[in-house]
Amino acid sequence: MIGDGGFAVTATELRTAVARRLRLTVMVFCDGSLNRIELKQRALGYGGTATRLDDIDLVALAGAMGCDGVRVTSAAELEKATTGLATRTGPLLVEACIDPAQYEAQFQGGVAY
């Protein structure tokens, strides 16, 4: 499990997972932001700076490396996308589109609880 910012700097590891035929499921939580850092910036009174991520089609990115990918926007879609993992022969990327608003509730004075 990884955020979209973290995945942006590690994405090509998927190619190794394909080459090694690893039955790995990589779940990317996509909120278009380095969100916890953005929240810390705002808590310190700065506007968000250099913390937004432009959209990347992660399913297409995975496909370019020979990796299956699926985009989900709900728990039901996630459940459907992750059935049959035990019979897979290679990695699966799950692009999970999430609303970052929930993080703000966990954030008080720049500290994540």
Ligand X SMILES: Cc1ncc(C[n+]2csc(CCOP(=O)(O)OP(=O)(O)O)c2C)c(N)n1
List interacting residues with Mg ion (CB under 5 A).
3-5, 31, 33, 35
Q: How far is the CB of 53 from ligand X (least distance, A)?
A: 7
Query: Beta-strand (E) ranges in 1-113?
Result: 2-3, 25-30, 68-72, 92-97, 107-108, 111-112
Q: Using the minimum distance from each CB to ligand X, give the nearer residue, 31 or 95.
A: 31
Interface with ligand X by CB under 6 A: which range of 27-35, 41-49, 68-76, 87-95? 27-35
Among Mg ion, ligand X, none, partner that 36 touches (CB below 5 to 8 angstroms by kind): ligand X
